[in-house]
Structure 1
Amino acid sequence: MTTYRRMTPGVFLGSQAITEGYLTRNQLRTRSYQRLAQNVYADPALPLDHRLRCRGVALLLPADALVGGHSAAAWYGAPFAGVADPVTVVCPEETRWAGPKGVRVHRTVLRRRDVTTRDDVPMTTALRTAWDVMTLEPLTTAVAALDAMVAAEHVTVAGLVALAEAGAGRWGVSRVRRVVPLVDARAESPQESRLRVCLALVGLAPVPQFEVLHHGRFVARVDLAFPEARLAIEYEGAHHFEDDQIPKDDERLDRLRAAGWRVIRVSAADMRDLDGVLARIRAALAVP
């Protein structure tokens, strides 16, 4: 039988709130409470994001289940799971809880040292979260999350290497050993990480966050660089298209070109055609 956890500030079980007299059924139905999962609601003033959904799901968890994987990574420097993405829950293999709609349950071996609590949410520790991200998520997603977790100093590359070396025989160790060599804390966005991984998978090794100098003077720092070819790859997120940023980017591009560098600019739309992006980069590298 599932034992519900206590209510947390701003997040509550509808049935419990009614039973304890905080709300009537009519108030729950007519006021603008945010529904996070079946029978779980939040104050409308709280920002609706993946972490809030995790807080809601936490109220439903059996005592031996934890928020983990890509969801827990939001507390460790990698808040990349979207509000509509399923909440990842890890629990012991013998726990038969399936969770409500919008929850992804992974049954595994959990040890006492894997368990912690943050913001009243029971979750996996940073290192255990890293393991589950590497074993459960696609390669590029896993590397992007680990890049951010290392940059935020919640885990270290040395710790990840040790984790992979000690993982012989564990489920998913082959995935872990594939991800760890690709982790680089210099990345400054998840899309930059994903692009770097895609390049690595075809045998290309750009330098992240490379500082371009010309006659000994700083010109710009670029997302990814092939220094010998003087080729820069710049990922342009949404802020690059804001009015005050556009002239700054154009001026920066002019400085790079004046220093003898070529620049390939990659947008979110371009990332939907990675083969096309890779072809552009390879063609540019082929030009002497």
Structure 2
Amino acid sequence: MARSLQALSGVFLGSHAVADGLVTRTQLQSGLYRRLFQDVYADPHLAVDHRLYARGAMLVMPPAAVLAGRSAAAWFDAPFAGSTDPVLVVVPPDCPWRGPRGIRVHRTDIGPAEVLTLDDSDDLVRLTTPLRTAWEIATLEPLAPAVALLDAMIRAGHVDDGSLARIARDRRGQWGSRRFARVVPLADGRSESRPESLVRVACVRAGLPAPVPQFVVTANGQFLGRVDLAWPEARLIVEYEGAHHFDELHIRRDDRRYERLVAAGWRVIRLSWADLRDLADAVSRIARALGLPLTAG
């Protein structure tokens, strides 16, 4: 007879749990546990995020495989990959493992010095070092999301401009080096959210001057606020308002703040999550406010 459900916490292989008498196949198939991948299950009370799926991937990865890119970045203060995004795993070129559905396998050389082992919720997690993680992010992810991930890692102190420049120099001429060299100069650790990064990159790619992230606005020596993005010479501000900005308290607080900024001679463009779905339109609004034409980026 299978033991109680409390005996199975964390992430586990269904076949092993059945063999050990911890659960029956009927219980696994009934939906009592969350299915992550083929034969990989999780306690349904665990938070459903990308790290949960990455921990599940660890159970089926061969010894030479390592979590990388956006999946490793979830342990380096850049948890932007969603639970439905494939887990990124790197394996040596001669490794035949392809992984189950939901895992993206990238074949590439990786040295022992580029691998870390961390203890996460009693699970040992193998992942690439921050610098090697930055390499996979810049070379495998779309440009704007890659910059957002690097922004967060720089802000948290896991990588910096000097270490990224060193990788660019050491790997010059290798596969992906041109893409890496294109992505890294766009990274800016002053950005404090993924939406800020996406808007900033979209503006730069459209030929607009790069805005200043987290700009401190003052008037006559008085602090008026720290804003997401600013073009100080044009006295233009762009603010991204997440979901928490739309409760009544935040609305009143934001309105008073914007009134002070406008009274001091600043123009304010307010963006929401809906604007991220049509960044071209948002950038056009910004360009019109700056009085500048758009160019292809």
Q: Larger deviation: 208-217 or 197-206? A: 197-206
Aligned partner of 1:98 in structure 2 is 98
- Tell me the amino acid that sits aligned with residue 181 of structure 1: P
Q: Distance in 2 between matches of 1:167 and 1:9?
A: 43
Aligned partner of 2:148 in structure 1 is 144
Aligned partner of 1:167 in structure 2 is 171
- Tell me the amino acid that sits aligned with residue 165 of structure 1: R
3-state SS of paired residue (1:75): coil
Q: Distance in 2 between matches of 1:109 and 1:149?
A: 23
In the TM superposition, what whole-angstrom CA distance separates every residue of 1:81-138 from its partner, at most 9, and x where no partner exists? 0010111011101111111111111001111111111221111111111100000001
- Tell me the amino acid that sits aligned with residue 272 of structure 1: R
CA, structure 1 residues 49+165, in 2 after alignment: closer, same or farther (shift >3 Å)? same
Q: Distance in 2 between matches of 1:204 and 1:117?
A: 41
Q: Distance in 2 between matches of 1:284 and 1:28?
A: 57
Aligned partner of 2:5 in structure 1 is none
Aligned partner of 1:265 in structure 2 is 270
Question: Of 171, 188, 195, which aligns to 1:191?
Answer: 195
Scaled by the length of structure 1, what TM-score is found?
A: 0.94
Q: Distance in 2 between matches of 1:173 and 1:235?
A: 32
Aligned partner of 1:135 in structure 2 is 139
Q: Distance in 2 between matches of 1:203 and 1:264?
A: 16
Q: Within 5 Å, which residues of 2 pair with 1:1-288?
A: 10-30=10-30, 32-118=32-118, 119=120, 120-201=124-205, 202-286=207-291
Scaled by the length of structure 2, what TM-score is found?
A: 0.91
- Tell me the amino acid that sits aligned with residue 130 of structure 1: A
Q: Distance in 1 between matches of 2:111 and 2:132?
A: 10
Q: Distance in 2 between matches of 1:22 and 1:271?
A: 46
Q: Larger deviation: 201-210 or 33-42? A: 201-210
Identity of counterpart residues, as a percentage?
55
The alpha-carbon deviation at position 272 of structure 1 amounts to 1.8
Q: How many equivalent pairs are there?
A: 280
In the TM superposition, what whole-angstrom CA distance separates every residue of 1:216-235 from its partner, at most 9, and x where no partner exists? 11001111111111110111
The alpha-carbon deviation at position 9 of structure 1 amounts to 5.8
In the alignment, structure 2 segments of 5+ residues that lack a partner are 1-7, 293-297
Q: Distance in 1 between matches of 2:188 and 2:114?
A: 24
Q: Distance in 2 between matches of 1:193 and 1:68?
A: 21
